[in-house]
Structure 1
Amino acid sequence: MDEALERDCVIAGGGPAGMVLGLILARAGLRVTVLEKHEDFLRDFRGDTVHPSTLTLLGELGLRERFLALPVTALSTLDGVIEGQRITLVDFGALPSPDDFLVMVPQWDFLNFLAREARRLPTFELRMGTEATGLLHEDEDRQPLEEKAWDVDAAVRGLRATSPSGVLEIRATLTVAADGRDSGLRRAAGLIPEESGVPIDVLWFSLPKPPDPTPPTLGHLSSAGMVLTIDRGDSCQSGLIIKKGEFTQMRRAGLDAFHARLTQAAPVLGPVVGTLTEWRQVKLLTVQMNRLPHWYRPGFIAIGDAAHAMSPMFGVGVNFAIQDAVALANAIVPDLRRGAAPVRTLARVQSRRERPVKVMQRIQGRGHRVIARSTTGRRVLPRPMVALIRLASPALRRVAAHVIGQGLFPEHVHTGSVTPRGGHGEVGGVPETWSKTRLWHNEGN
């Protein structure tokens, strides 16, 4: 073994869920290590949407204003063009101030921001280029986990990983899988998600803004297709909805046919589609929607996409993952401070968080059926329905703001904080709630 560590919590995955969980646990003085398998966060076409609910949580952590100082795009409304008619679909201005808008920010900027803030805390460690490869069992005889059948009665006591410096073993009271929809730790724990059939995939690509751009538009939906158009300041992150499995056929048809399809579905993009000159500029997102029946084992829990892959619809995936992290931190901090991670606590976290996940996935599933019509050339909605949506838009946009912007059963930070490294006072706006704080300092941070 090249290196062995002991922590209160080890988290596999440096995405939004893992970073927020690590930050909150470290604020409480707990020893936490986050592992990210990549050397950096620079991967495009990931969730860039930060909803009002996440802005509220950042405010509770004392990070809201510093986050908003980043180069972000703030949107108070979301418009869509449905069968040629522009309709305001969501009005975040209906939400309580100050979190009455949505923010678009490249996910790498968001993760780098969280990493900077977390590294100010003396008990936080982030290891880049380090990939979790297996779980450690209680009383394990140090055989590779892959060679052993999962024993449901054996508690997880940490994980193994590979890093630039060799093999790493981290023993921890709680091990968290936040390593995404293809989670290796989830498989290692014997947890298998139940898949929901999804009839669509998404092709993601970046385009320059057209010379004469329209107001910010979430997407264009009609019998000609559906194209997402997400404002990124000087560019537009775009996505074309296609039938599941259709991408191979589209590549055979060629880029000219792809350009024509985009232009027909979203005429505003006509002047700029020619900037897509190679298929490597187009990334396939295989849309999944699934959920684990059980998120946990003794000493182990999965959160975020590792527990429930969400559809890109409404851009809620990042925010649901962060809500999971906050709920887990709120529940587990008192136990971890006693050196325990009771199964009953982990079960409560799943019970609390799977309620909003189930509801949102049902909504997304119904939306998929509507959107899928755009891939067949059929009219997406009958004309009377479009007219009704337009008429009811003022009421619908307020409801949508609460459901999408604030989320279902939103979480709030209830843990205390410790003094950050290199600073004074609290990182968050929540007072210290414990009289004693056990601190661990890694001089390498």
Structure 2
Amino acid sequence: MNKEVVIVGGGPAGMLMGLLLAQEKVNVAVLEKNKDLSRDFRGETIAPGSVYLLKKLGVFPALEKHGFIKVRKIKMYDREEKLFSVNFDELDHPQKFGIDMPQPVVLEALKEKALTYPNFSYIEGATCTDLIKDGEKVVGVRYKESEQEFELRSKLVIGAEGRYSRLQTLGNFQVQKKEFDRDLIWFKVPKPIDWEEGNLIKVYKNDHVIILPTYPDYLRVGTYISLGGNREIKQKGISSFIDKVCTIEPRLRKPMNETIKSWEDTTLLKIFTAHLDNWANDGLILIGDSAHTMSPILGQGVNIAMQDAFKLLPYVTNGLKEHSGALPADLFTDFIEKRKKQVSFVASFQSRQEQNLAASSPFQCTIRKVKMKLLDKAPFKNKVMRRLQYGIVENETMEV
């Protein structure tokens, strides 16, 4: 079977890329290794810029029908002392809020929209096993579905598998991986009555928690532990962990006591970034976390990935018109250079915030407090936040 484009990975970048290509009448298939989309995602926040793009695509009504939480603010406190805040209402863009909702709902909405186009195929339970090559050019993929082997020939394979990408290995890409000196433990608890709107970071001495209101009425909470410290903290018991979190945010005591009964009610997330110098070979390009795994700070990974898809679209459609065979890697040089600038901007901002949150000594904690208060009053604050939250549509003014 032949397709013009094969996308490996049905996450935010892959599913969105499939819909965009289908709308351009490209014969495209999305391969997803899971048999359904009902998985437990941590990245459930979609930034205002990506919400804006989903509105332009006509997907947003399906999301409204399901329901979501509007995210309009980001705040940072040292216990009860405010250090920093941003209100999206004050940013110069028509889209004034991000949303938080289960990621499978977003993926299902994108898939259902794409399936209205006869040139779109979605193959679930399909695990990519190898690349098909003609010399050095990638001309398709081999995949396994229900214990059977299949081949899909194409002019372009797009890898959108996420942070653990098999195509990185199959394509012989060189990965620059940086592990942080901390791990992250996530958990969910019911949202207390009268909890304020917005994403919240609270610090206290050398510790902190990240608290994200989560659809429909939960809080998603993350707190760091030392790298490899999972065994040590577990040995202290779940009550010690609850004490650690509630020392920083006492309002979490009641919902944690009611909900977090064992370590099975938490999830350990390894923190690392991974970037490729080169994202493309002839007939193959990687996007999203497959090309640039981001830190979880500010939840930018999903949004960078989705915006990769939007920016890649014209390069693919023009390339398909100009080339009869595998699309050459140099076709994507301009795309990669431009996207690297945005990825680098976000990654650098995240790295600085990671350093702030990792403050350990009293002196470092004092410096953190001063820096965040200065940033809060800085005249360029909204400009920086607009670029972070809106990305490729930072300067859009069209009403949606």
- TM-score exceeds 0.5: yes
User: Deviation digits for residues 205-247 of structure 1, max 9, x if unmatched?
Assistant: 1111124534444221221521111111311111112222221
- Distance, in Å, in 2 between the alignment partners of 1:318 and 1:348 is 22
Q: Does the 8 Å CA contact 1:326/1:411 hold for their aligned counterparts?
A: no
Q: Structure 2 vs 1, CA of residues 229 and 334 (structure 1 numbering), >3 Å: closer, same or farther?
A: same
For 1:19, give the aligned amino acid: M
Q: Does the 8 Å CA contact 1:155/1:298 hold for their aligned counterparts?
A: yes
Structure 2 residue 204 is the aligned partner of structure 1 residue 235: no
Counting only pairs closer than 5 Å after superposition, residues 37-436 of structure 1 correspond to structure 2 as 37-87=33-83, 89-138=85-134, 154-164=136-146, 166-211=148-193, 213-223=195-205, 225-232=207-214, 233-274=216-257, 275-338=259-322, 339-340=324-325, 341-373=327-359, 380-382=365-367, 385=370, 388-389=373-374, 392=377, 395=379, 398-407=382-391
Q: Structure 2 vs 1, CA of residues 367 and 87 (structure 1 numbering), >3 Å: closer, same or farther?
A: closer
Say which SS state the counterpart of residue 240 (structure 2) adopts.
helix
User: Deviation digits for residues 44-95 of structure 1, max 9, x if unmatched?
Assistant: 2431111111122123323334433331111222222224313552221123
Q: Structure 2 vs 1, CA of residues 84 and 289 (structure 1 numbering), >3 Å: closer, same or farther?
A: same
Say which SS state the counterpart of residue 19 (structure 1) adopts.
helix
Give the fraction of aligned pairs with identical amino acids, expressed as a percent.
27
Say which SS state the counterpart of residue 227 (structure 1) adopts.
strand
Q: Does the 8 Å CA contact 1:310/1:317 hold for their aligned counterparts?
A: yes
Q: Does the 8 Å CA contact 1:331/1:345 hold for their aligned counterparts?
A: yes
Structure 2 residue runs of 5 or longer lacking an equivalent are none
For 2:209, give the aligned amino acid: V
Q: Does the 8 Å CA contact 1:323/1:410 hold for their aligned counterparts?
A: no
For 2:267, give the aligned amino acid: K
- The equivalent residue for 1:440 is none
- The equivalent residue for 1:438 is none
- The equivalent residue for 1:6 is 2
- Distance, in Å, in 1 between the alignment partners of 2:158 and 2:340 is 17
Q: Does the 8 Å CA contact 1:205/1:238 hold for their aligned counterparts?
A: yes
Q: Does the 8 Å CA contact 1:243/1:372 hold for their aligned counterparts?
A: no
- Distance, in Å, in 1 between the alignment partners of 2:41 and 2:23 is 30
* Residue range with higher mean Cα deviation, 44-53 or 298-307: 44-53
Q: As a proportion of its length, which structure holds more strand?
A: 2
Structure 1 residue runs of 5 or longer lacking an equivalent are 140-153, 413-428, 430-445
When the two chains are superposed, the root-mean-square deviation of aligned CA atoms in Å is: 2.4
- Distance, in Å, in 1 between the alignment partners of 2:48 and 2:60 is 11
Q: Count matched residues.
A: 393
For 1:403, give the aligned amino acid: R
Q: With the length of structure 2 as denominator, give the TM-score of the two structures.
A: 0.91
The Cα of 1:321 is off from its aligned counterpart by: 0.3
- Distance, in Å, in 1 between the alignment partners of 2:68 and 2:364 is 35
User: Deviation digits for residues 333-352 of structure 1, max 9, x if unmatched?
Assistant: 02224444132212222112
The Cα of 1:378 is off from its aligned counterpart by: 7.5
* Residue range with higher mean Cα deviation, 196-205 or 122-131: 196-205
- Distance, in Å, in 2 between the alignment partners of 1:13 and 1:189 is 15
The Cα of 1:192 is off from its aligned counterpart by: 2.1
Q: Does the 8 Å CA contact 1:220/1:266 hold for their aligned counterparts?
A: yes
- Distance, in Å, in 2 between the alignment partners of 1:96 and 1:67 is 24
Q: Structure 2 vs 1, CA of residues 6 and 404 (structure 1 numbering), >3 Å: closer, same or farther?
A: same
